[in-house]
Amino acid sequence: MRQALLLAALVLMGVGGIVGLGWGSGPRWSRWSSCAAAGIASTLVTITGVLCVSGPALTVHLGDLLDFGQTALRLDQLAGLFLTLTGGLGVVISLALLNWTGLAGRAGDRAALPGYMLLLASVTVTVVAADAFSFLFAWESLTVAFYVLSSATRRRRDQPSAAWATAAVGKAGGAALLVGFLVLAGAARSFGFAAWAGLHASGLHDTAYVLVVFGFATKVGLMPFEVWMPRGYPAAPGPMRAAMAGLAVNAGFYGLWRFLALLGRPPEWLVVAVLVLGGATALLGIVFAAVQADVRRAIAYSSAENGGIIMVGYGVALAGAYVGNSSLVAVGLLAASLQVLTHAVAKTGLFLSAANFEKSTGTNALDGLSGMGRSQPWGAASFAASALALSGLPPTIGFVSEWFTFEALMQQFRLHPLALRLATAGAGALIALTAGMAAFTFVRLLGFTVLGRPSQPGLAEPAPERGAAVKMALLLTAVACFGLAAIAPWVVRYMARGLSPDVARSITLGALKSPWVLQPVFPNFSALSTSWLFIVMPAGFLVVTLATVLASRGRFLSVRRVPVWRSATPGVHGEDSYNAFAYANPVRHVLANILGTQKEVALVEIKPSSLPDGAPASGRENEAATPDDEVTEEWHQPHVVFKASVAEPIETYLYRPVIAGYLALARTAKRLQSGRLEAYVGYMLVALIAVLIVAAAMH
């Protein structure tokens, strides 16, 4: 049954890809049929995942189908957990694509929809692959899909660099996995994953462990590999960003979970590195998200932040595996898996709603998206719910996942090695700072989009929301952000089954103190009932509101109209003078060492005719013009312009010097290739003599 459903899903993905590749995004029937095929295939994947989680593990042997050893598929509980997430998100994104592709060419060129089909199929095969060759084939196909989607529209000047950065990081991760798999296959004399589980700890084992973690870390954006996210995600068209960030990146987390079960005890220094780098990635990602003027880049940097938080939970699980404490493994993996769920659902909602805003306004700038709560209620609801979830506020699923993450980090006293204790404490401090910055970041995003004033003068009015399919997709993401928290005990039970290949189900179920109360696996530590929050929080709000109305004798409900506060800076005019740039400016100033903030203040001259309507002709806003003043077109007014830019330290101090050195080496090689024939003969003679000397020395 499971094999048939999975095969049918893959066939549908292939048919949808062929239709999209053959007819492109021109004919209406081809666009709709491709999206419908993706939606039906995702539904079948979801059903397969549920059957895998609830049923026994099953291995499907395909013989030497790929002529590279025995090919096999593993349909066990862990695969089922990620298939459920992949299929569910695929249904939502496919619904949004039905509306997005309603206009000819909206999804990009001919490659966009086939790229999406390739992405869905690659993630599905990656999750169920049980041998090295099948896994690597699907993993490299996923890298190709990322490249295709990030280069599909070809409307941006930085599109080529974004696509190449995405492909380069993906290929680096694939190379690391290839070498690691070859080491494991050589030690076990088999390409099947099942044979790798019995390997004993050794230098080769630890080397392979590091390479595997390195390979998967490139996909999930662990520092220093997070640089591709703010480039690659915005380059993809519309809902394809949600497919990359919310759906496909989970293949990397699946790989980490799977190989933790296969390889067992990691080296100590690797655990320390994962914890420290995870915390640093989370903080760096949210700090850069806080100062972005483009909503797509802000969401992309937030993906790096969420990836760092997930890696910290995974680091706690690694620490538990190192000291042999199964309960620590359980609480770390449960916290990380809940954060994966939060990130997948909320990031899908953010990117889908942002794509809806872009379609309506034609811009992605925060200052140009003000007032979306009035003109785009469905997208605004999804955006707000997703932002609250990623802020970790109750009663969302993000609050549950972050609570579990902090509770997992508080178990550091159960670790005996001092290095692990210090790394866990440091990661906890970094995650605490990240949580505070996340609240600041998403208040900014919500304030200047959903809760902001209507669009500024001079900008076109946003188009109304249309399409039942995209409204349904947005509603599903908004409801999921709150609904998953309401049924958190059942989510934990489902995840306990899904994580059983890594840690016994009975140990993970220790997270349930009672049917409605959660605890961090360890009893008598702390407890939380997110289900009851949906009763307690509305009741508390009602009580406080009634008490306030009674205490104020009704004056609390009266409307007061006062002048809107305006900036007192000379040369700044209008009620909208306080913008997204100004809101984030304190962060640029305080964290200038991290952000690499560069400031520039210039005095320019502008003509009065170029001033906004109603703006005074004087450089000082509050000074009235006298009758003797004469304003002509030749007179220019001094105007202060303040500019600030940030530079990511990883890209500035690591990648750019490496790229510069590579280009210098390439230029040197180019000069050598343009030499004379006798010079080449001389080079060959020197090389031959060197080889002979080495050979003689070896004898």
Q: What is the pLDDT of residue 309?
A: 95
Q: Are residues 361 and 492 in the same domain?
A: yes
Domain extent for 510: 265-528
Candidates 408, 391, 388, 400; CA nearest to 316 is 408
Q: Which residues contact 43 (CB under 8 A, 6 or more apart)?
A: 87, 91
pLDDT of residue 629: 39
The per-residue pLDDT for 25 is: 57
- Asked if residue 660 and residue 521 are part of one domain, the reply reads no
Question: If you ran DSSP here, which 8-state letter would residue 126 be given?
Answer: H
φ/ψ of 58, rounded to 5, equals -140, 130
Distance CA 136, CA 71 (A): 12
Is residue 78 within 8 A of residue 15, CB to CB? The reply is: no
Q: In terms of domains, do 404 and 287 share one?
A: yes
Q: Which two tokens stand for residue 218?
A: 């490139």
Q: Would 447 be classed as within a structural domain?
A: yes
| Two structure tokens written together for 439 | 């609240």
DSSP letter assigned to residue 266:
P
Query: How far apart (Å, rounded) are the C-alpha atoms in residues 354 and 371?
Result: 13
Of 230, 232, 242, 146, which is closest to residue 476 (Cα–Cα)? 242
Written as one letter, the residue type at 365 is A
641 bridge partner residues: 602
CA 490 to chain centre: 25
Tokens 């510069």: give the residue: 660
The encoded tokens of residue 200 equal 């004993």
Looking at residue 153, its pLDDT comes to 74
Count of structural domains within the chain: 4
Q: Looking at the structure, do residues 430 and 340 belong to the same domain, yes or no?
A: yes
Q: Are residues 606 and 480 in the same domain?
A: no
533-550, pLDDT tens digit by residue?
Answer: 888 888 988 999 899 888
What pTM, to 2 d.p., does this model score? 0.86
* Same domain (yes/no): 372, 438: yes
Distances (CA, A) of 535 to 530, 541, 542, 543: 10, 10, 11, 12
Indicate if 429 and 384 belong to the same structural domain. Answer: yes
Within-domain flag for 683: yes
Token representation of residue 694? 């080495």
> Could you list the mean pLDDT of each consecutive 10-residue stretch along the chain, which spans 699 residues?
89 85 66 85 94 89 70 90 94 87 53 87 93 92 91 73 86 92 88 84 87 93 89 87 92 94 91 94 92 89 93 95 93 95 94 87 80 83 93 91 93 90 94 92 86 59 73 93 93 94 92 90 86 88 89 76 53 55 76 75 60 43 38 51 75 83 82 71 86 82
The answer to whether the CB of 149 falls within 8 A of the CB of 116 is: yes
Identify the residue whose tokens are 């593990």: 57
Query: Per the structure block, which two tokens stand in for 224?
Result: 């220093």
Same domain, 409 and 546: no
- 650, 659 in Cβ contact below 8 A? no
Distance between CA atoms of 699 and 695, rounded to whole angstroms?
7
One-letter amino acid of 33 = S
Q: Same domain, yes or no, for 493 and 508?
A: yes
Q: Report the pLDDT value the prediction gives residue 669, as an integer from 0 to 100.
A: 75
CA distance 227 to 10: 32
pLDDT attached to residue 577: 54
Quick check: is 491 in a domain? yes
- What's the distance, CA 380 to chain centroid? 20
Q: Is residue 473 part of a domain?
A: yes
Residue 274 shares a structural domain with residue 338: yes
d(CA 507, CA 500): 9
Beta strands 517-518 and 58-61 are: unpaired
Q: Which two tokens stand for residue 493?
A: 């039970």
| 567 within a domain of the structure (yes/no) | no
Q: Which of 512, 528, 544 is the last residue of a domain?
A: 528
| In-domain check, residue 509 | yes
- Residue at 78 is within a domain: no
Question: Is 437 among the domain residues?
Answer: yes
Same domain, 496 and 541: no
274 and 355 within one domain = yes
| In 67-131, alpha helices (H) | 77-100, 112-128
